[in-house]
Amino acid sequence: MLLLVDAGNTRVKWALLDPRDDTPPGRWRDSGAMARGELAQLEQAWRGRGIERALMANVAGAATGAALERTLGLAAPAAVLEWFQSVPRRGGVENRYREPARLGCDRFAAAIGAHALWPGQALVVATCGTATTVDAISADGAFLGGMILPGLELMTAALAQHTAQLPRVVQGPLRAGAFADNTDDAIASGCIAAQAGAIERAVAAHGGPGVARCVLAGGAAAWIAPHLAVPHARADNLVLTGLQVVTRLEQAC
């Protein structure tokens, strides 16, 4: 069995699949997700599953990486572990970052996953999590670059922390009228406008809605999606999908 892991800033997601299965991208035999503080539970989830290889993307820091490696060693001592890294080309995507290795491995994997799900289409991939990343992929599979901004929760938290009288707005379904008549809604409106505006601006710069398909992913996508003025598709687990695509293409070689 093949284990795929996406260790993000807030949660760790994983998926198990048999690399011999001819399953489409984004489908696997089993999967799970948990908060970074609950990693001890992974040993039980992975033990006895016949894991022979693991491909992990980690942007959560060295301590999380060490914990994942230790847990895999306890659950599947013979498994071969590879840490997914950003390189100039992999998984059918060319990485055009000025320094390819400095592109976040989660962004690179998500680009690979999105390109596999929508081949031959220009894409703007917005991953709305702790941070919001908005990246452009060309129709022929080149990662062109992107933008990074604070996610919804970080935006509202920053306003509450660094101002004397503004309240903390809890993330959830947000009212975002253009001109709010109370402070909570004004904060929500501003944060939503910043998120949606960045995504819409990226779509316009990448050829417009008629050329570039907008893809939303991440935990906060559900709150941003209703406020977007451009057509968009939703995609879950793009990083895991990208890792799956990488293993499938390399196995076929």
The Cβ of residue 82 has, within 10 Å, a number of other Cβ atoms equal to: 12
Long-range pairs, 80-87, Cβ under 8 A, ≥24: 80/52, 80/53, 80/54, 81/53, 81/54, 81/56, 82/53, 82/54, 82/55, 82/56, 83/56, 83/57, 83/58, 84/55, 84/56, 84/57, 84/108, 84/109, 84/243, 84/246
Is the pTM of the predicted complex or chain greater than 0.85? Answer: yes
Q: Which candidate in 6, 30, 106, 185 is catalytic?
A: 106
Residue-level pLDDT, tens digit, the chain, 253 residues: 999 999 998 899 999 999 888 888 999 999 999 988 788 889 999 999 999 999 999 999 999 999 999 999 999 999 999 999 999 999 999 999 999 999 999 999 999 999 999 999 999 999 998 899 999 999 999 999 999 999 988 888 887 776 655 556 555 555 556 787 887 778 888 888 999 999 999 999 999 999 999 999 998 899 899 999 999 999 989 999 999 999 999 887 6
Please confirm, yes or no, whether 185 is among the known catalytic residues: no
